[in-house]
Amino acid sequence: MDESPPSDTDPTDSAFDEPVGKAGDKVFFTLSFGAAALILVTLAAVAFFLFAQGLPTFTSASTELDGDASFLSYVGPLVFGTVYISCIALLLATPVAIAVALYISHYAPRRIAQTLGYFIDLLAAIPSVVYGLWGILVLAPIMSESMFPWLRDNVGFIPIFGSDVPIAQSGKTTFTVGVVLAVMVLPIITAISREVFMQTPRLHEEASLALGATRWEVIRQAVIPYGRSGVISGAMLGLGRALGETMAVAIILSPARGYFWDVLTGQNSNTIASNIALQFPESSGLEVNRLIATGLVLFVLTFAVNAIARRVANSGFSGADG
């Protein structure tokens, strides 16, 4: 008597389980797609609002606005101050973040690494108002009494530290804001760099050790090249965070209208976000539209920075690839 081969699947199981699985997949796909679409719709709605509300700034006569004759002359110093202060913060935070990430991932004992990583992550939970109060009440006096004179006397040959303008005794300078923003973006860069460094293939590190490399040589030859794209992406995301900071800058900075390179004096270029926060309560009519138009410029600038960070992360730019 011929016997048919046993089947691996039970017909009753496929009859009942498969429709349920397909239904679950469809529900999950619908929810996931809806969440992603909601983000895009929200982003588009924000962009449309900024464009619609800022459009009267470009279509109205310049005589209806107080101060500057054109929008470019108004927003130019603000864009300069925003990018300038954010770049200072990035230059100060990135080396420290990389060093901390390397110590946590490759040097510190496990318990110390977990504790240190926990405290670094807690820095991101501190409100920006607290950072601003700390900067103006604690950091600014220390910087004006000790750090600023030392910088002027020892590195005054660098244009941003040396000029004929006296040092700001209040400490409300571009450099103080840059230090505060560096502390604020430090957790972002550190967290991303730490995760990327810990993903370095163990085989690469063991190969370097087998060739007689020291721990630092292993980091320099295997870890840092492998995590280069992650560090760049983290730095760009930190830059995007610094570009949009409002309250800390508004509390600490003593702004002026114009382009100012010296970071130790009381003449400082303002940022877009800080200018909106300071000017919006007293503005009306077309002045409000002009502030919203500057918000559109900040939106485009921040979007471009995050898009570049995402492109770098997806491109896999790493020394390990070569």
Residue range 48-78, pLDDT digits in tens? 999 998 888 887 766 666 655 678 888 889 9
CA dist 81 → 73, 148, 277, 291 (Å): 13, 20, 15, 16
Rounded distance between C-alpha atoms, residue 85 and residue 175, angstroms: 8
- Residue 18: the pLDDT is 47
pLDDT in tens, 247-277: 999 999 888 888 888 888 888 899 999 999 8
pLDDT in tens, 168-207: 888 889 999 999 999 999 999 998 888 888 888 888 888 8
Q: Residues 200-228: what's their mean pLDDT?
A: 83
Q: Which residue has the tokens 């270029």?
A: 269
- Residue 159: the pLDDT is 82
Q: Which residue has the tokens 């009494």?
A: 145
Encode 142-153: b = buried (16+ Cβ within 10 Å), e = exposed: ebbeebbeebbe
- Residue 64: the pLDDT is 61
Banded pLDDT at 1 (limits 50, 70, 90): very low
Under 8 Å between Cβ of 74 and 170: no
Q: Lowest-pLDDT range, 148-157, 251-260, 308-317?
A: 308-317
Residue 94 has pLDDT above 90, yes or no: yes
Average pLDDT for the chain: 83
Predicted TM-score (pTM) of the model is 0.82
